[in-house]
Structure 1
C-alpha cells in the first residue's frame, strides 16, 4: 500500500538522523585579507590625525619664526634706517653730553637733569621727534608680537633686547617730553615694557 511505503521512507530518513549541512566554501569563510585591511585602514586614519596635528604645530612654530624674521628685516628697511640715522646725527652734535656719558656712570635722574639743562632747554629734541616716533612704533609692534605669542620670543630678544634696553634709558626722557606736548601718555611705554620683559626672562626657560 502506498501509505506503508511512504512510512518506510520516512522511517529510513528519520533513522538516518539529521542531514549534515554542506561544508563552508572558501568564499564563505572570513577573509584574513579583509581583517588586515581594516587594521591597516585604522592605522592610516590614526596616523593621518597625528600628522595633521604635527603639521599644525609645525606650521605655528614656522609662522612665529617667520614673523620674527620679518621684524628683523623691517629694522633695516628705509624708514627705520632713516630714523636711526637721524638719531645718530643728533648725538654727533651733542659732543659734550656724549663725552660725559662715555666717561661717567650717570644715574637716570642725573641724565634727565643734564638733558633739561642743555638739549631740552634749547628745544633741540624737536629735531628727532619724528625719528623717535618711528622707533617707538616699531618697538610697539615687536613688543606686541612677542607678548601675544605670535612671534618667537627668543629670536626677537637675541636681536632687539639689548638695543631696546639702551633706547628705553636714553630716550625715556624724550618720550616723556613728547607725551607732555601731545597728551599721548602711551608714547614710549611699549618700548619700555619690552625692554623690561626681555631682560627678565628666566635663563632656564
Structure 2
C-alpha cells in the first residue's frame, strides 16, 4: 500500500499543478468560445482511480500441475495522455499501476489511438492500445514466515487494451472535467521461468477487465466547424 499511497500523492500534486497552469492560461484568454459550439480539446490529461478484475490462472509443472488463480486488485491508478489530430481522432499513451493485489500486482505502459464524439458537455470515446506489462504473481505464502510455496517474480510481457468511456464537462469553457466511467478489456501475457524444482513458473495468459473513474484536464483547442446558416 505504500507504493499506491506515494502514487496517489503524486497524482494529487500533478492535479494541483495542472489546475494552476490552466487557471493562468484561461486568465490570459482574450475571448470566450461560443457556448453553442464549444471547441474540442487538443490535449487531454486523465488522472483516474482504477479497479482491476482478473479471470485467469497459471498452472505449474510440479508435481502434477498446480493451478493458482490471480486475485482481483481493487486499488490502482491510471495516468492517460491523449493528443488529438482532428476533432475525433487522436493518439494516446497510458500508464496503469495496480501494485497491491492479495497475491499479485502489475503495471502497464501502452500507446495507441483514440476516437471521440465531442459535444457541449458530454464526450463518449473509445480507444485501442498496445504495449508492455510488468506482472508478478500469483504468489502463495508457505507456513514459514517470509517464504513462498509458489512464487512468480515480476516479469515483462505484451499487453493489449480495448475499451471506452464517457467524459463530462460541467463548464465547457473551463479546463476541468470528469471521467464518469472508463471500461477496458485487457489481455496480458507473461512467461515465468521455472525454478530448479519446477514448483514455480509457466505461462500466464491473463484476461482482465478494468473499471476507472477520475478527473480530466484539457489543453488548447480544435474549433468545431459551425453549421452554415
TM > 0.5: no
The structure richer in strand per residue is 2
TM range (shorter): under 0.3
Larger radius of gyration: 1
The structure richer in helix per residue is 1
